[in-house]
Chains A and B, each alone.
Chain A
């Protein structure tokens, strides 16, 4: 499975290029999933279809479409966590946990985490089924936070595992001296296999390492979409810096909406960005004159610039 993240400033044409890439790859016989992570979806508008969280086949082709509902992802995840909570503390069944979900959407970080959960699910489940997964991302700020999350989470998990290991070491020492675990005789686990917290930490570590390895792998491409204008250039530069810091592979630069009138600016933007991105392939895409839903009529073949082997 190969994956492409279309990133860039809002309104530069990420969704259009994602849709076009998906359509063109499907035309070449590939099984493709195009999914939108942008909370303000317009993938459905481009194809003239009503899309939802459920993956849907587009007109009997090998192209599949989805508008990821981040809130639903977060709810599904929290529900599974609450399920474990109910198993451990049966009295929580008395509470109606569902009513808390409504306010959780406003919790800090939930949107990013929901996107991470959806991304992990994509790589794990859909990666087996599709040749290509194309992800239409939200504007730069949120995208960078989502892409940074596996690395940040792993750094925290590493520290927590270290502390937990020290705790288990101390418990083991006490067990060796006294033959029991706690002063009140409570049985506290002292091996990594017995300790549920350590097991959970390692399971999470394993999960995020997999996501990170998918993001940094040869089969992944962070494609940057930029328009020939100053604001788009500035935001693209922030994205270039961000992906460099995270060690993510930015392989393609799409200069979108290039016309005769803005040719000079496009050249200037390209020069600036390619100085920061020496090994990146650049593709110019002219302004699309057709109205949606007609992205698949796009004449420019953009799949050759994706930098992923066929």
Chain B
């Protein structure tokens, strides 16, 4: 049986690295005695993968763990798993996945982020956001294995919005991510002149992309070996 577990990663667990988080899940699964599948070989490891790596220090309310079990797990089993987690990590839901569906990691095409920017002058920031959106190109430099590399991230910026929030204003970003390349939220903040500020960044959702439509993995329809947008649930039209 294969399952996607939808969870959030809040303070203080946002400081865990990808490796730390993997180790945490492995131990929690062992504590809750779930029949997880192990890889073959000299050094067997649990068959687990995440939908998308999250930078250290960033909280998220929409993470996914893709797990392979050797037999069906009932609600009691998942309840035990939820109880085995430390505070800061909570399970929102799960869905059983047909075996033929590709790894969730390969399906993710976009992510939305938000950051509170209470202290910034909204009109000034609004102007910066608009000019960024109307730019033809947004060149950034990235540190690669063979030195610095130039890249235009404009096509990867799907949307930016400045919204009113309880504590002032918040910036929402919808950015492409995954195998076809992605824009990093920190790059957008740098382009807006906010790189130096200590802002708490939050990932609000991950999206599966089918054509010009984006939908959270928790909502998509899985038919045999295919992933489809479920039009009856929320989705985003590019």
Q: Do A and B bind each other?
A: no
